[in-house]
Structure 1
Amino acid sequence: MAGNYKMMAKTLFGFEPLLAKELRDLGAGHVQEGVRNVTFEGDLGFMYKANLCLRTALKVLKPIKTFKVANEKDLYRNVYELDWPEIFDQDKTFAIDTTMSSDVFSNSMFVSLKAKDAIVDKFRAVVRQRPDVRTQDPDVRINIHIFKNTCTVSLDSSGSSLHQRGYRILTNIAPINEVLAAGLLLHSGWDGNTDFLDPMCGSGTFLVEAAMIACNIPPNINRESYAFMHWKDYDAELHKKIVDASLKKTREFHHKIIGYDKAPSAVRKSQENVENANLSAYISIERKDFFYTEKPVDGKLFMMFNPPYGERLPIEVDEFYAKIGDTLKQAYPGTNAWMITSNLEALKHVGLRPSKKIKAFNGKLEARLVEYEMYEGSKKQKHQS
């Protein structure tokens, strides 16, 4: 694995440009956007750095073989030909994830089983022992992707999805994915140069991700394990150097990050998650109902929140979204307010014209990230100044 090689980082739909920029900023070569993925080149150390530092990546894959496949014999033979005992030891557990869009095979489970047979048979032939398959939390993950008649076998260097940062132990009914939260913040242009408020903070994900962006803290610094740690070529010393070098690039943050929630249970959960992320020095959380608050700071305020959609949390949608607009108008001058919602009808009841609308997905729900610019005084005065 010496030298540079091609890798692929998977992401959420619409986050490809954000991920490509992150990769270029980290120093990746030959960065190319795909659909829900970005390919790039780097060495072993860069693979460690990508897993540690990418905010909008879900997985980092390392392709190890691409071949044409016409039937199950082609699949078995090509997978068997790989030197699996040189990649991981027989005492490690493994699992295979298959995605495909192909006329050759109709069942991804069948492909995974055939590939599993080839890997197990190779181990038996070479070392006389076989590794065990474990679908839940395996040591080694192998990714098979078949498009038409082309099959790519990759090693999944991440293991569990990179949205599992390691700080969020407690969640509420409708938590926002950490990668989604980070991507929405990057889409909005959040850079840590103002005070920040999430007025409906839930389990605190926006607060933590905003603080990590503001302080340039690697998003996965609290994560304890990656699948690459179980590969034979894992270099623990190099990995430690990458972590130490990344931590040296953190910066101080001189503003406030504030969270409100009206539910005592949400306040407790978000406080614990913030503590787990070691960010209590930057983030304060209070039990407050947004509709009875006023702007808590002087000067510019940046707001980002994820209000209930009426999907999993029952609310009177029309009335609730009208109150959001009223509260922003009456109590939050000088605020850039961003929110994400999948209830596109509800946006009509806010009563404000968004200055920006960005399409996004929250899980399988199509959503909009919208910005409302609340000026000090009237908008007319703002343009005249």
Structure 2
Amino acid sequence: MENFFATCPRGLETLLAEDLAAIGAQGVQSVPGGAHFSADWDACYAANLHSRIATRILWRVAQGRYAKEEDIYRLAYETPWPRWFAPERTIRVDVTAIKSPLKSLEFVTLRIKDAVCDRFRADAGRRPDIDTRAPEVRVHGFLTADGCTLYLDTSGAPLYQRGLRQKTVDAPLKENLAAGILRLSGWQPGVPLLDPMCGSGTFLTEAAQIALNIAPGAGGRSFGFQRLKNFRLETWKHLLDAAQEAEKPARFAQIWGSDISPVAVRAALANLDRAGLLPAVTLSAGDIREIAAPASSGILVANPPYGERLSEQDDLVAFYPQLGSALKRNFSGWDCHILTSDLRLPKLMRLAPSRKTPLYNGAIECRLFRFVMVAGSNR
């Protein structure tokens, strides 16, 4: 068994733990922004392939205490990197910290990089090149007040990059956050789902993949573990084949999307089409204040724009009451879930949320508000 750490958007740690338990992880321990767990390599591959919530799966390779930068250099130098990847691989080092007394994380990053390269020179007679844009191997350092943990990244590009999205509009939602919101909403395949502000279609794409039982990592992307010396191709091919055999044929899955912007609708259409998911979804251009519900009941998810500038703030103050009226008028019997960083939203919509869940969209603190539109309660 090896030790791993999975990262995820803050607020989704419980869902991440469920994903990890489902692939057979042992000793899952949630912390803010992720979860520690133990697993064999089959489960590590499966976590990368199947978790809709994880951002990265990191393999813990070293741990030690430090008082100064040179202690971290020594820990990194004593770690047998050449055992795990070849000097021909390009690398990148990233460091994050909580309560570290060291002044410069950039200097710590440099010292870890130097240590990795010096160890390769000593063992293999040559050092790996650095590539900060598209490295083949990623090394992660994590510092606490007096401890340093070193990881090798088994994911490569973040796992929310499913290899599907081509076209984006302003500030698209990350795929793993969208998948988490769908889980938090209680939506299940077969239940009508509507995103009336669909943008480039992230909610729609995730929902269609779930409805058709398509593993999020099966979209043709590559993974960090494929570039490590211990990579077992047969094991990976077996997992991938099993996932692809479990997929359902693309057909309408009671998922609807619309947007006031025809440009956004075209982007969503292109993304769904490229992913082979277009048959599962019905798309149209329309204003949420005017569209009719596509079914008598269902789940509505939305990530409305939140204004950065004062003029936009004024527009939103006018828009939110109209949104509240439209939900009451046209969506009785629907369970509505709205993600926003604007905490004035329920008050301005004149609706009382039945639940509010703190979530982070990147660094932006948000709330997922749930509004239950009770059928027959509005004349």
Q: What TM-score do the two structures reach when normalised by structure 2?
A: 0.94
Q: C-alpha separation between the residues in 2 aligned to 1:103 and 1:89?
A: 31
Q: C-alpha separation between the residues in 1 aligned to 2:172 and 2:14?
A: 24
Q: C-alpha separation between the residues in 1 aligned to 2:70 and 2:348?
A: 59
Q: C-alpha separation between the residues in 2 aligned to 1:74 and 1:339?
A: 47
1:25 aligned partner: 22
Segment of structure 1 superposing worse, 39-48 or 217-226 = 217-226
Segment of structure 1 superposing worse, 227-236 or 208-217 = 208-217
Structure 1's unaligned 5+ residue stretches are: 381-385
User: Could you say what secondary structure the match of 1:105 adopts?
Assistant: coil
User: Could you say what secondary structure the match of 1:336 adopts?
Assistant: strand
Q: Report the residue type matching 1:129 in the other structure.
A: R
The match for 1:172 among 169, 183, 186 is 169
Quickly say closer, same or farther: Cα 1:379–1:330, change in 2 above 3 A. closer
Q: Report the residue type matching 2:276 in the other structure.
A: N
**Are 1:193 and 2:190 matched, yes or no?**
yes
User: Could you say what secondary structure the match of 1:291 adopts?
Assistant: coil
> What's the CA shift for 1:76?
2.2
Q: Report the residue type matching 2:112 in the other structure.
A: A
> What's the CA shift for 1:254?
6.7
Q: C-alpha separation between the residues in 1 aligned to 2:222 and 2:248?
A: 25
2:59 aligned partner: 62
Quickly say closer, same or farther: Cα 1:101–1:174, change in 2 above 3 A. closer
1:284 aligned partner: 282
> What's the CA shift for 1:17?
0.7
**Are 1:47 and 2:44 matched, yes or no?**
yes
Quickly say closer, same or farther: Cα 1:102–1:366, change in 2 above 3 A. closer
Q: C-alpha separation between the residues in 1 aligned to 2:100 and 2:297?
A: 56
Q: Report the residue type matching 2:293 in the other structure.
A: K
> What's the CA shift for 1:23?
1.1
Q: C-alpha separation between the residues in 2 aligned to 1:72 and 1:357?
A: 43
**Are 1:81 and 2:54 matched, yes or no?**
no
1:357 aligned partner: 356
Q: C-alpha separation between the residues in 2 aligned to 1:331 and 1:379?
A: 10
User: Could you say what secondary structure the match of 2:74 adopts?
Assistant: helix
Q: Report the residue type matching 1:15 in the other structure.
A: L
> What's the CA shift for 1:166?
1.2
> What's the CA shift for 1:138?
0.4
The match for 1:264 among 257, 262, 279 is 262
Q: C-alpha separation between the residues in 2 aligned to 1:307 and 1:102?
A: 35
Q: C-alpha separation between the residues in 1 aligned to 2:31 and 2:245?
A: 32
Q: What TM-score do the two structures reach when normalised by structure 1?
A: 0.92
Q: C-alpha separation between the residues in 1 aligned to 2:5 and 2:322?
A: 44
Structure 2's unaligned 5+ residue stretches are: none
Please tell me the root mean square deviation across aligned C-alpha atoms, in Å: 2.0
Q: C-alpha separation between the residues in 2 aligned to 1:104 and 1:186?
A: 39
Quickly say closer, same or farther: Cα 1:374–1:42, change in 2 above 3 A. same
1:321 aligned partner: 320
Q: What do the CA deviations read for 1:111-160 (whole angstroms, capped 9, x no partner)?
A: 11111111111211222111101111100000111212211111011122
Q: C-alpha separation between the residues in 1 aligned to 2:375 and 2:105?
A: 57
Q: C-alpha separation between the residues in 1 aligned to 2:241 and 2:349?
A: 46
> What's the CA shift for 1:95?
0.7
> What's the CA shift for 1:187?
1.2
**Are 1:71 and 2:33 matched, yes or no?**
no
1:230 aligned partner: 227
Segment of structure 1 superposing worse, 167-176 or 245-254 = 245-254
Alignment of 1:1-385 (within 5 A): 4-101=1-98, 103=100, 105-250=102-247, 255-297=253-295, 299-311=296-308, 314=312, 316-378=315-377
Q: C-alpha separation between the residues in 1 aligned to 2:144 and 2:294?
A: 53
Q: Is the 8 A contact 2:191 2:299 kept in 1?
A: yes
1:383 aligned partner: none
Q: Is the 8 A contact 2:16 2:54 kept in 1?
A: yes
User: Could you say what secondary structure the match of 1:167 adopts?
Assistant: coil
Q: C-alpha separation between the residues in 1 aligned to 2:112 and 2:340?
A: 41
> What's the CA shift for 1:223?
4.5
Segment of structure 1 superposing worse, 370-379 or 254-263 = 370-379
Segment of structure 1 superposing worse, 195-204 or 95-104 = 95-104
Q: Is the 8 A contact 2:299 2:334 kept in 1?
A: yes
Q: Report the residue type matching 1:269 in the other structure.
A: A
Q: Report the residue type matching 2:375 in the other structure.
A: E
The count of corresponding residues between Structure 1 and Structure 2 is 376
User: Could you say what secondary structure the match of 1:207 adopts?
Assistant: helix
Q: Report the residue type matching 1:231 in the other structure.
A: L
> What's the CA shift for 1:262?
1.7
User: Could you say what secondary structure the match of 1:319 adopts?
Assistant: helix
> What's the CA shift for 1:41?
1.3
